[in-house]
Amino acid sequence: MIPPRVDIREVGPRDGFQNEPETIPTERKVELIEMLARTGLARLEVTSFVRPDVIPQLADAEQVLTVINVPADVSLSVLIPNERGLERALVVREAHAGPRPAFDEVNVFLSASETHNRKNVNRSIEESLASLEHVLARAGEEGLRCEAVISTSFGCPYEGHVPPERVLAIARRLHGAGAQEIGFGDTTGMANPAQVEAFFDQAFESLGASPGDSPDKGGVQLTAHFHNTRGQGLANVLAALQAGVASFESSFGELGGCPVPPGATGNIASEDLVSMLHEMGVSTGIDLDALIECARRVQKVLGRPLGSHTLVAGPVDWRDANG
């Protein structure tokens, strides 16, 4: 049973831009975010409040949020590493004048692998959870929708196998702390479709969720975040769909990724994901041609060819108009 409609969160402006060796000028970021926001995408992760000295590529978070002009029906999210990051973000939200809030959602993250979490945020999983519980509580008080992403949910480059029970125990705790959406990240592209389908079957049960649940109705939403490191990203999407997952994260142009292993490719490309879903009869609300335009534009900004297939090949053309 494949969901008839899925939600896609575009994470390129955060997950993508932060992994570029160069910092993209703020005006270019603003232009790309505004283009993406007019493709029919309902969710857009725009930046992060990680310390600017750690991720200089996103040091302009405040400026980006202040300047962008995005329709009110596009839900904007920001990545929040800790309490300090949330306070910085809330200052921006407080000061924001305009027809819509500076952002609507926060994304918090940790890793299901002790070693990966230590290397990434220099904390144990338990220390991360304790901090994120504060962040989620505070964000909830501010009326923000909260997503918690658990990276290395399907395997860790340092520890290998990551037990699903451990991942799901973390997920239950984050949901209990106020996360209405839990994202499961295959940070280094280790997942395979058989594993993914079994994992999400177990995840729905473990979180007392049903496919099709929506946070707006008090349920928890399960989101899949796949990387295409080994070319299995879309196969994993299909497996997740078959388990009932109806929410995905992806990045235009296949931007982003993780520096481990070195040279690895990034997130699944949004335009490849949208193309596959539309061909399968699954609706997304996104205009594929407009999305490809965005990928073409970012390719030009970065000055290098990007890995997305649909960017190269274009959408499938069934020649319907010509009979």
Question: Applying CB under 5 A, which part among 10-18, 47-55, 123-131, 315-323 lies near Zn ion?
Answer: 10-18
Question: Applying CB under 5 A, which part among 7-15, 103-111, 207-215, 285-293 lies near Zn ion?
Answer: 7-15
The distance of closest approach from Cβ of residue 226 to Zn ion in the complex, given in angstroms and rounded to an integer, is: 8
CB closer to Zn ion, 102 vs 269: 269
Q: DSSP letter string over 227-270?
A: B-TTS-HHHHHHHHHHTT--EEEEBGGG----SSSTT---BPBH
The distance of closest approach from Cβ of residue 256 to Zn ion in the complex, given in angstroms and rounded to an integer, is: 5
Quote the CA–CA distance of 217 and 229 in Å, as a whole number.
Answer: 35
**What single-letter amino acid sits at 51?**
R
Quote the CA–CA distance of 158 and 184 in Å, as a whole number.
Answer: 18
Residues 255-294 that bind Zn ion (CB under 5 A): 267
The distance of closest approach from Cβ of residue 49 to Zn ion in the complex, given in angstroms and rounded to an integer, is: 17
The distance of closest approach from Cβ of residue 268 to Zn ion in the complex, given in angstroms and rounded to an integer, is: 9
Q: Does 15 bind Zn ion (CB under 5 A)?
A: yes
The distance of closest approach from Cβ of residue 191 to Zn ion in the complex, given in angstroms and rounded to an integer, is: 12
Contact (Cβ atoms closer than 8 angstroms) between residue 107 and residue 144: no
Contact (Cβ atoms closer than 8 angstroms) between residue 251 and residue 277: no
Question: Applying CB under 5 A, which part among 11-19, 34-42, 44-52, 72-80 lies near Zn ion?
Answer: 11-19
Alpha helices in 76-151 (DSSP H): 83-95, 114-121, 125-141
Quote the CA–CA distance of 116 and 153 in Å, as a whole number.
Answer: 11
Residue 26: helix, strand or coil by DSSP? helix
Catalytic residues: 258
CB closer to Zn ion, 145 vs 225: 225
Q: Does 147 bind Zn ion (CB under 5 A)?
A: no
Q: Does 186 bind Zn ion (CB under 5 A)?
A: no
218, burial (CB in 10 Å: exposed 0-12, middle 13-18, buried 19+): exposed
Q: How many residues interact with Zn ion (rule CB under 5 A)?
A: 2
Quote the CA–CA distance of 184 and 162 in Å, as a whole number.
Answer: 12
Binding site for Zn ion (CB under 5 A): 15, 267
